[in-house]
């Protein structure tokens, strides 16, 4: 099983971070990574992400913006 993030602009169009994280072995690994990387992703112009397992969306899109934004 491979877990990966799909990166999107606010309108849902795909985009990529400056350094792609690749695939993760577990959902927990993927979620831990996004928990640490989201500020840098915002700087890269990414507004939202979706989590995929073997190409199938598990959840998302999930905004990377805080409630104050």
- Token duo for residue 1: 């099983």
- Token duo for residue 51: 């989590």
Cβ atoms within 10 A of the Cβ of 9, count?
12
User: DSSP states of 23-42 as a string?
Assistant: -BSSHHHHHHHHHHHHHHHH
pLDDT by residue for the chain (69 residues), tens only, comes to 799 999 999 999 999 999 989 899 999 999 999 999 999 999 999 999 999 999 999 999 999 998 765
User: What is the enclosing helix (H) or strand (E) of 43?
Assistant: helix 27-43
pTM of the complete model: 0.91
């Amino acid at each position: 099983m491979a877990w990966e993030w799909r990166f999107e602009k606010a309108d849902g169009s795909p985009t990529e971070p400056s350094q792609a994280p690749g695939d993760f072995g577990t959902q927990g690994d993927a979620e831990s990574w996004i928990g640490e990387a989201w500020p840098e992703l915002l700087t890269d112009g990414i507004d939202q992400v979706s989590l995929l397992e073997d190409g199938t969306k598990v959840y998302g899109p999930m905004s990377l913006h805080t409630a104050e934004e």
